[in-house]
Amino acid sequence: MQLVKAKDYQELCRMAAERIIGKVKRARNIKLGLATGGTPTGVYRELIEDHRKNGTSYRHVTTFNLDEYVGLSPEHPSSYHYYMNKNLFEHIDIPKEKTYLPNGMSADLEAECRRYETLIEAEGGIDIQILGIGLNGHIGFNEPGTPFDSLTHVVQLAETTREANSRYFGSPDEVPTHAVTMGIGTIMKSREILLLVNGRNKADILRRLFEEKVTEQLPASVLKTHPHVTIIADEEACSRLYVFP
């Protein structure tokens, strides 16, 4: 894992966007793995601004999101479909039919998981996967204890995760109890991974990521075994690291 330090959130977003834009410009056909949550919103803002100012085109881009809540339709304002449409897709020229998220409304969720996994494979896999990290070290919605070889699956969300994500809902009870998420094995198949970590509340989990051994109890620790991971973290997130490049 390579750690790149950003002064603050704004710089982190610029750095991440630059990497993505560089790839989008260079490749004729690129598959981006996208994340939701608070962390990537500023990166998406940068992509939109660059698209407007510099005309970077996304017509040749396919996207796969990490996860979606079970039981929320794409029209639900707290669904990840809605988030992606509002925060990115509606503002760039990506063909809507090339933007994929798991369908949390499927009547057969097991079949949906298999369909999503197969779809990623059929498209040739993900070139670069953007990740945030949960306070307990989850990536996507892979909570502590998830097997490292897991593929897309249905998860029961940890209460701490439901609580942390309740800010996106009217009340904590409205947060779904389950989600469909790419598995850790799915994420690890990405050719490159960009983990974004910002803010003081992430300082402890970033410290744990560096200090603790690779264990399924800390899902993000698996990234230490991937050949091409860059962590972009701001100063606040790095404030508990002993050694800093």
Ligand X SMILES: N[C@@H]1[C@@H](O)[C@H](O)[C@@H](COP(=O)(O)O)O[C@@H]1O
Catalytic machinery residues: 67, 136, 138, 143
| Host H or E run for residue 154 | strand 153-156
Query: CB neighbours of 211 closer than 8 A, spacing ≥ 6?
Result: none
Give the residue closest to ligand X by C-beta.
132
Provide the CB-side half-sphere exposure for 51 (13 A, CA).
Answer: 19
How many alpha carbons lie under 13 Å from residue 201 in its C-beta half-sphere? Answer: 8
Nearer to ligand X, 34 or 92 (CB): 34
Q: How near is the Cβ of 231 to ligand X at its closest, in Å?
A: 13
**C-alpha pair distances (Å), 133 with each of 49, 190, 232:** 25, 17, 12
Applying CB under 6 A, the residues found at the interface with ligand X are 35-39, 66-67, 132-134, 140-141, 161, 165
DSSP letter assigned to residue 212: S
In whole angstroms, the minimum distance from the beta carbon of 228 to ligand X comes to: 19
CB of 94 or CB of 132, closer to ligand X = 132
**Rounded to the nearest whole angstrom, what is the least distance from the CB of residue 59 to ligand X in the complex?**
26
Pick 37 or 185: Cβ nearer ligand X: 37
